[in-house]
Amino acid sequence: MEEIYIKNSEKNELIKTKSETIQFLLNYSKSLKITQIKGHKFESNLN
C-alpha cells in the first residue's frame, strides 16, 4: 500500500544548475580562443 502514495518532492523544488557546472562553463569560456585568419574563424581551447 505504502508504495502507491509516493511523494515526488523534487517537482516542488526550484531547480538550479550546480555550481560545478557553472564553474566548468566559466573555465570553458576562459580557455576558448577564437582566431580569425583571412575571414575564417578558428576555435581553440587552451588549457
Partner 1 sequence: MEAQVDDSLLIKKYINGDEKALETLIERHNQRISCFIYSKVNDRTITEDIFQDTFIKVIRTLKRGTYSEEGKFLPWVMRIAHNLIIDHFRKSNRMPMFHGNESFNIFSIMSDEQLNVEGQIIKNQIDTDLGVLIAELPQDQKDVLMMRIYRDMSFKEISENTGVSINTALGRMRYALINLRKIIDQNNIVLTN
Q: Is 41 in the site for partner 1 (CB under 8 A)?
A: yes
Could you give the CA distance from residue 36 to residue 16 in angstroms, rounded to a whole number? 36
Closest CA to 44 of 29, 24, 28, 33: 33
What's the min distance (Å) between Cβ of 7 and partner 1?
10
Tell me which of 1, 6, 37, 46 binds partner 1, using CB under 8 A: 6
What's the min distance (Å) between Cβ of 26 and partner 1?
6
Q: Is 12 in the site for partner 1 (CB under 8 A)?
A: no
> Other C-beta atoms within 10 Å of 20: how many?
8
Helix (H, G, I), strand (E, B) or coil at 26: helix
Q: Is 15 in the site for partner 1 (CB under 8 A)?
A: yes
